[in-house]
Amino acid sequence: MDYLPIFCQLRDKPCLLVGGGEIAERKARLLLDAGASLTVNAPNFNAQFLAWEQAAQLTLIRGTFEPTLLDSVWLVIAATDDSDVNNHIYASANERRIFCNVVDSPERASFIMPSIIDRSPLMVAVSSGGSAPVLARLLREKLESILPQHLGKLAALAGTLRGRVKKRFHSMSARRRFWEKLFVHDRLAQALANEDSPRVQQLTEQLFSAPLEDRGEVTLVGAGPGDAALLTLKGLQQLQQADIVVYDRLVSEEILNLSRRDAERIFVGKASGYHSVPQEQINQLLAEKARAGHRVVRLKGGDPFIFGRGAEELEHLHQAGVPFSVVPGITAASGCAAYSGIPLTHRDHSQGVRLITGHVKHDTDLDWSSLAAEKQTLVFYMGLQQAEYIQSKLIEQRLPETVPVAIIENGTSTSQRVLSGQLSQLSELAQQASSPSLIIIGNVVGLREKLNWFAPSSG
Shortest Cβ distance from residue 402 to ligand SAH (Å)?
24
Residue 84 marked ligand-binding: no
CB burial of residue 199 (10 Å; 0-12, 13-18, 19+): middle
Closer to ligand SAH by Cβ: residue 263 or 433: 433
Interatomic CA distance for residues 51 and 102, integer angstroms: 25
Tell me if 64 sits within 8 A of 39, measured CB to CB.
no
**Residue closest to ligand SAH, measured at CB:** 302
Stretch 79-108 residues interacting with ligand SAH (CB under 6 A): none
Instruction: Establish if 411 lies at the interface with ligand SAH (CB under 6 A).
Output: yes
Q: Which candidate, 139, 138, 113, places its Cα nearest to that of 30? A: 113
Q: How far apart are CA 134 and CA 389, in angstroms?
A: 56
Rounded to a whole number of angstroms, the minimum distance from the CB of residue 257 to ligand SAH is 18
From the list 435, 428, 258, 197, the residue with the least C-alpha distance to 332 is: 435
- Tell me which H or E stretch contains 228: none
The minimum distance between CB 375 and ligand SAH, in angstroms, equals 23
> Nearer Cβ to ligand SAH, position 431 or 435?
435
Question: Are the beta carbons of 108 and 90 closer than 8 angstroms?
Answer: yes
Beta partners for 265? 245
Q: Judge whether 22 is annotated as a binding position.
A: yes
Q: Is 441 labelled a binding residue?
A: no
Task: Determine, following the binding rule CB under 6 A, whether residue 154 of this chain makes contact with ligand SAH.
Answer: no
Is 33 assigned a catalytic role? Answer: no
The answer to whether 375 is a known catalytic residue is: no
Tell me: does residue 189 bind ligand SAH (CB under 6 A).
Answer: no
Selected binder of ligand SAH within 306, 314, 338, 399 (CB under 6 A): 306
Identified binder of ligand SAH from the candidate list 58, 103, 438, 444, rule CB under 6 A: 438
Per-residue DSSP letter, 64: S
Q: CB of 425: closest distance to ligand SAH in angstroms? A: 19
Q: How would you list the strands of the sheet with 417-422, edge to edge?
A: 353-357, 377-381, 437-441, 404-409, 417-422
Q: Is 331 annotated as a binding residue?
A: yes
Listed as own residue / partner, the contacts of 7-14 with beta carbons closer than 8 Å and 24 or more positions apart are 7/123, 7/125, 8/34, 8/74, 8/75, 10/34, 10/35, 10/36, 10/74, 10/75, 11/35, 11/36, 12/36, 12/37, 13/37, 13/74, 14/39, 14/72, 14/73, 14/74
Q: Please select the residue that binds ligand SAH; options are 114, 226, 235, 341, rule is CB under 6 A.
A: 226
Residues in region 230-259 near ligand SAH by CB under 6 A: 250
**Nearer to ligand SAH by C-beta: 151 or 220?**
220
Catalytic residue among 2, 71, 270, 365: 270
Please tell me whether residue 328 binds ligand SAH under the rule CB under 6 A.
no
Q: Is 332 in the site for ligand SAH (CB under 6 A)?
A: yes
Residues 6+ apart with CB under 8 A from 234: 148, 327
Catalytic residue among 248, 289, 300, 393: 248
Taking the least distance from each CB to ligand SAH, the nearer of 237 and 410 is 410
Q: 49 vs 381, which CB is nearer to ligand SAH?
A: 381
- Residue 432: CB minimum distance to ligand SAH, A: 14
Q: Minimum distance from CB of 350 to ligand SAH (Å)?
A: 19
* Pick from 182, 173, 185: nearest CA to 219: 185
Classify 272 as helix, strand or coil: coil
Q: Where are the alpha helices (DSSP H) in 96-185?
A: 133-146, 151-168, 172-183
Distance CA 190, CA 400 (A): 48
Encoded one letter per residue, x for contact with ligand SAH by CB under 6 A and - for no contact, window 362-401 reads -------------------xx-------------------
3-class SS of residue 152: helix
Q: How many residues bind ligand SAH (CB under 6 A)?
A: 23
Binding site for ligand SAH (CB under 6 A): 225-226, 250, 300-303, 306-308, 331-332, 336, 381-382, 408, 410-412, 435-438
Give the residue numbers marked as catalytic. Answer: 248, 270
